[in-house]
């Protein structure tokens, strides 16, 4: 369980909408605000989200170090927050940022440039609008 302050300052209306895992965490996807490039995935709890919303710097919770970290504190590769959105299920946030330098701990611009994985199914032609299945009950 994250070592949180005794009381978070996160707006209760926002906190009520969040769905957290057993450790009180939820994933946060960092995306470059102007290009749409997906940069990384980090973990947040209520306090990390509060810090992100109030400081303008993307702040995460390190599961391995069990502490908060603002992106760029040690590397200089800062994420300046442009917007934060909660997904439809309330279990993931999208943090649109202006990334300074590399987003990945390896020094790469993004954590998602290690190569695409080939799909297991052969490529099919795009179904016509009438053939597309409607959204399921869970919205997906």
At 73-88, the pLDDT tens digits run 988 999 999 999 999 9
- Alpha-carbon separation of residue 37 from 7, 28, 30, 86, 99 (angstroms): 35, 14, 9, 18, 10
Domain that holds residue 73: 12-99
The mean per-residue pLDDT over the stretch 89-110 comes to 95
Residue 130 lies in a domain: no
Residue 60 lies in a domain: yes
Is residue 87 marked as binding? yes
Is residue 111 marked as binding? yes
Q: Which helix (H) or strand (E) holds 38?
A: strand 38-44
Is residue 23 marked as binding? no
CATH of residue 90's domain is 3.10.20.810
Is residue 104 marked as binding? yes
Is residue 89 marked as binding? yes
Q: What is the pTM of this model?
A: 0.79
């Amino acid at each position: 369980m994250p070592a949180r302050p005794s009381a978070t300052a996160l707006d209760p209306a926002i906190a009520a909408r969040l769905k957290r895992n057993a450790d009180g965490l939820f994933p946060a996807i960092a995306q470059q605000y102007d290009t749409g490039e997906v940069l990384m995935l980090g973990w947040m709890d209520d306090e990390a989200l509060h810090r992100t919303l109030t400081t303008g710097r993307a702040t995460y919770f390190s599961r391995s170090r069990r502490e908060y970290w603002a992106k760029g504190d040690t590397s200089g590769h800062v994420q300046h927050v442009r917007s934060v959105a909660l997904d439809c299920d309330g279990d993931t946030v999208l943090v649109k940022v202006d990334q300074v330098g590399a987003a990945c701990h390896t020094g790469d611009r993004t954590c998602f440039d290690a190569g695409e994985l080939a799909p297991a199914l052969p490529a099919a032609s795009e179904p016509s609008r009438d053939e597309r299945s409607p959204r399921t009950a869970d919205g997906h």
